[in-house]
Amino acid sequence: MQTMSTTNDEGLKTSGKHSTIWLDTIHQQKFKPLDSNTDTDVLIIGGGISGITTAYCLAKAGRKVVLIEDGLLYSGETGRTTAHVSNALDDRYSEIIKLHGEEKAKLVAGSHTDAISFIEKTTGDLNIECDFKRLNGYLFLHPNDEQKTLDDEYEATQKVGVVTKMLSEVPGLQNEKGSCLNFEQQAQFHPLKYLNGLVDFITNNGGTIYTQTHADDVKERTVTANGYNIKANHIVVATNSPINNMFTLHTKQFAYRTYVVGALVPKNLMEAALWWDTGNPESKWVAYPYHYARLQPYNDQFDMLIVGGEDHKTGQEDEEAKTQEQRYDNLIAWAKERFPQVQKVVYKWSGQVLEPVDALAFIGKNPGDDHVYVITGDSGNGITHGTIGGILVSDLIMGNENPWNKVYDPSRITMKATGDFLKEAGNMAAQYVDFLKAGDIKSIEELENGEGAIMNVGLKKVAVYKNDMGNV
């Protein structure tokens, strides 16, 4: 069994400014940093749900696995999720059928349904206490949207095999009039309690984990991290956003920031469910911002209502003249209007969502590489996409047939996505023009994670960017 490090460093807990309910209610496992050259069969970069699920599948199959993480485990987007475990996709099956055809859409639906079942089975197999619960999910209309959106999605779900039915009202919500689409057999859980169980299995079955270990360079069979070399037959990059030398994938997806609040509600006063609105079709963003909510057990007196939304393109929050606090205030107002049970707001945090240009994640061999695999493009469904990624990549490494391979192939080209791609690419180019005109900062310490600016260094102006992990 691997020994954990006991060093305490709060700065490694999370990539964001604020903590989350998940991080505050578990023991966040920390292992020693890499301090020598090593070799392994499979090296996995990233200690979130994608990387840990991959490591679990391979360790279960008896493969030699090393996993490295820049901070502590779960310090990236997995620790900042709202943990909807769902086969109701943000990008809608009606859209996926248009982009990829009905047969591929069926495979997509099946992969997310199987991911929910995988989590449920693994929870049982390993006896993990993680609040896993099957429940209903309800998709209802944004005030600016039309009934046709729900009708089209109902028809699409029937085609792809997702169990839905149309209801005349939205269960559990006040002041929401009109119908909703009920997705049955969805789920929720405490994601980090679940992953702690997988980590215990990995380390008890020959796997090795290093935290505070930054991957500086990735080549076909060698990764340089902390100044040391790790040689591996297979390398898996499971870091949400691809690392810097994976240029092709950076151009095929676009980053959005999403916001979350957690508010206390009296215990057992509400029936647990997942809720999503359809998003604002009048938004300037290609990925229509939408609201989403769920309950989570909290303590003996309260449950916690977790509400998310107010998304914007990363680095472009000023486009809508809203501060971060205004976005949190908007979420609180939205929640109180629909859930009058809401009492004190305890948590505020944000996360990053990567939107693929054709609505599907990129999972498989990195374009141009034979032994490097990537899992990215969660599109707001990070829990199921991360689980799918772990299953699919471990199958590819072990030479197992997997029907999802071509659907999620990172090398694919989807010509029908060209319109959205051009719109997003044009937006990105405009962003860089604005970036170059930005006002100066006096020191790097003024930058929040995920922000960039121009700073004077001697007689030169230098463009400075701080990523979500705080790296400059």
Task: Return per-residue pLDDT of the chain as tens, 472 residues.
Answer: 565 544 445 567 887 788 999 999 999 888 999 999 999 999 999 999 999 999 999 999 999 999 999 999 999 999 999 999 999 998 899 999 999 999 999 999 999 999 999 999 999 999 999 999 999 999 999 998 999 999 999 999 999 999 999 999 999 998 888 999 999 999 999 999 999 999 999 999 999 999 999 998 898 899 999 999 999 999 999 997 766 555 456 567 788 899 999 999 999 999 999 999 998 777 766 556 789 999 999 999 999 999 998 888 777 766 667 889 999 999 999 999 999 999 999 999 999 888 888 889 999 999 888 999 999 988 789 999 999 999 999 999 999 999 999 999 999 876 565 555 556 555 555 554 444 444 457 676 677 776 677 666 554 456 776 766 666 7
At what angle are helices 147-160 and 102-125 packed, to 10 degrees? 80
CA atoms of 349 and 21, how far apart (whole Å): 10
pLDDT at 435: 43
pLDDT at 418: 52
The continuous run of DSSP H or E covering 324 comes out as helix 324-338
- DSSP secondary structure code for residue 326 in this structure: H
Contact (Cβ atoms closer than 8 angstroms) between residue 304 and residue 21: yes
The amino acid occupying position 388 is I
CA atoms of 250 and 199, how far apart (whole Å): 29
Query: Cβ–Cβ contacts within 10 Å for residue 423, how many?
Result: 15
pLDDT at 282: 73
Using the Cα atoms of residue 247, residue 253, residue 255 and residue 260 in order, give the sign of their dihedral: negative
Contact (Cβ atoms closer than 8 angstroms) between residue 261 and residue 354: no
pLDDT at 95: 93
Tell me the C-alpha to C-alpha distance, in Å, between residue 406 and each of 79, 374, 411, 422. Answer: 29, 14, 9, 24
Q: Taking the model in full, what pTM does it have? A: 0.86
Closest CA to 48 of 19, 70, 20: 70
CA atoms of 256 and 377, how far apart (whole Å): 11
CA atoms of 304 and 19, how far apart (whole Å): 15
Q: Are strands 65-68 and 208-210 parallel, antiparallel or unpaired?
A: parallel
Task: Assign 442 to helix, strand or coil.
Answer: coil
Q: Where are the beta strands (DSSP E) in 219-314?
A: 222-225, 228-240, 253-266, 274-277, 292-297, 302-313
CA atoms of 436 and 429, how far apart (whole Å): 11
Compute the C-alpha angle 451/452/457, nearest 5°.
Answer: 140
pLDDT at 110: 98
Task: Assign 354 to helix, strand or coil.
Answer: strand
The amino acid occupying position 454 is I
Contact (Cβ atoms closer than 8 angstroms) between residue 41 and residue 20: no
CA atoms of 266 and 251, how far apart (whole Å): 46
Alpha helix (H) ranges present in 101-188?
A: 102-125, 147-160
pLDDT at 6: 41
Contact (Cβ atoms closer than 8 angstroms) between residue 59 and residue 208: no
Tokens read off for 426: 């044009």
CA atoms of 170 and 173, how far apart (whole Å): 6
Closest CA to 211 of 48, 10, 69: 69
Compute the C-alpha angle 182/183/185, nearest 5°.
Answer: 130
Tell me the C-alpha to C-alpha distance, in Å, between residue 273 and each of 101, 276, 385. Answer: 30, 10, 20
